[in-house]
Amino acid sequence: GATSSIVFGNYIFRDDQLSREFRDALTERAAACVRVCVVRDWLGCLGQSSRHFWTPLIAAGGDVRVYNPPRITRPFGWLSRDHRKLLVVDNAVGFVGGICVSGKWLGDPAREIAPWRDTAIAVRGPAVLDMTCPFADIWAELGAPLPADILESATRALPSGKADLRVVAAVPNVAGL
């Protein structure tokens, strides 16, 4: 139902039925002139999906960038990963959690494999900007920055609910953990 923008970063997109449904939904929105920006992790997607997986979305006007592929100039640079799982729709609602995009996480009852247990949350209100900004930082590292209107619309989010919320975006090697 997005009408203006979708930013979506995930560690693994596996080329399976569930991921194709995600890709096709993003493709439909891009064809409807919604700005769709996807970051996939090079290592996370290695052997899971290829750049060809994204051909329909790119053909519809979406943009897909790869986080930190190997480079000859930085032989060990590929070890740095962006393991975030983040989806922000129209800067109105953001989702963050631990599940990658793959039917594998649904389990397989026929083989007695239980579904993966993880937690994700939906966020509304001004904290959505705190989710969009780290995505924008990674996006800008990989090419041209996000269009200004995406971040500007996030700054206008009205409070939602009664809980105070702060999103802390960090990467493990600098988080002081």
Burial label, 124 (beta-carbon count in 10 A; 0-12, 13-18, 19+): middle
Percent of the chain with pLDDT over 70: 92
Closest CA to 25 of 85, 84, 87: 87
In this prediction, residue 20 carries a pLDDT of 96
In this prediction, residue 173 carries a pLDDT of 54
In this prediction, residue 174 carries a pLDDT of 56
In this prediction, residue 99 carries a pLDDT of 83
- Amino acid at the residue 88: V
Residue 28 to residue 23: CA distance in whole angstroms = 9
Residue 112 to residue 126: CA distance in whole angstroms = 42
In this prediction, residue 152 carries a pLDDT of 75
Give me 172's structure tokens: 């493990």
133 φψ region: left (φ > 0), alpha (ψ -120 to 50), beta (else): alpha
Distances (CA, A) of 43 to 10, 92, 137: 11, 30, 19
In this prediction, residue 3 carries a pLDDT of 94
In this prediction, residue 153 carries a pLDDT of 67
Q: Are 124 and 160 in contact (CB under 8 A)?
A: yes
In this prediction, residue 45 carries a pLDDT of 81
Low-confidence ranges of the chain (pLDDT < 50): 176-177
In this prediction, residue 40 carries a pLDDT of 92
In this prediction, residue 177 carries a pLDDT of 47
